[in-house]
Amino acid sequence: MEDEQIIELYFARSERAISETDIKFGRYCTVIAYNILHNNEDSEECKNDTYVKAWNAIPPKKPDNLRAFLGRIARNLALNMYEHMHRKKRDINSTEAILDELSECIPDPNTDVERISESLELCDSINSFLGKLSEDNRKIFVRRYWYASPVEEIARDYGFSLSKVKTSLMRTRKKLKEHLESEGIVV
């Protein structure tokens, strides 16, 4: 079924919207959640919660890109669950590693610039940064930090060596930090 037809089902308040969403995007959402949570049951729960959120959001919202819309919800829910578990000291080493890597992108707090703390501006800045990257470097970065994919999986999927992926990520993190600092953004 086409995305527009699925959205029409949401607008018609037809429960079939949920089943059609599951048919087309269930695995996609589960994998995103799994990459963050590394647990089948928790990932399932995130996926199911994604459907509830989508049901509540559409209408009035009419996503231009249903896949990204659902993936973003699943990712946010998984991060919420991760934070909740983290507080309970549950071990989720892979996501820890990703967050550790991201600490390298954070501008130094003593940067002598105006503090800008709005998330939207941070995201806008990251967007403009991504637009300047080569396609390969951007895909590697997004696979790692949006999809939370393991570096081994990224290397395999794109046909790159592991060292190339790691080097690309390291350089991109460094560039992002410089970019954010140049824009006066302090996290």
Partner 1 sequence: MKEMRVMRAIGDIDDKYIDEAAPVQTKRNAIRLVSWAKYAGIAACAALVLGIGVFTVKQNAGIVDDPSQIGSDLVQAVNPFEEFTTIDEAEKAVGFDIEIPDSYGAFSDRSISVMFGTMIEVQYRDADGNVGLCIRKASGTDDISGDHNTYDTAAEITVGGHPVALKGNKDNYFLAVWSFEGYSYAVSADQGASQDELLEIIKNIQ
Residue ranges binding partner 1 (CB under 8 A): 1, 13, 15-16, 18-19, 22-28, 30-31, 34, 40, 43-44, 48, 51-52, 55-56, 64-65, 67-69, 71-72, 75-76, 79, 83, 98-100, 102-103, 105-106, 119-120, 122-123, 126-127, 130, 135, 138-139, 142-143, 145-147, 149, 153, 157, 187
To partner 1, the closest distance from the beta carbon of 49 in angstroms equals: 8
- The token pair at 36 is 């963050």
Given the complex with partner 1, which of 139 and 164 has the nearer CB atom?
139
Given the complex with partner 1, which of 96 and 162 has the nearer CB atom?
96
Output DSSP code: residue 104: G
Given the complex with partner 1, which of 40 and 182 has the nearer CB atom?
40
Amino acid at 177: K
To partner 1, the closest distance from the beta carbon of 23 in angstroms equals: 4
CA neighbor of 5 nearest in space, from 73, 49, 71, 58: 58
Given the complex with partner 1, which of 8 and 22 has the nearer CB atom?
22
To partner 1, the closest distance from the beta carbon of 16 in angstroms equals: 6
To partner 1, the closest distance from the beta carbon of 63 in angstroms equals: 9
Q: Which residues of 81-111 are buried (b: 16+ CB within 10 A; e: fewer)?
A: bbeebeeeeeebeebeebeebeeebebeeee
Q: What is the largest CA-CA distance in the chain?
A: 54
Output DSSP code: residue 108: P
Rounded CA gap, 63 and 174, in Å?
33
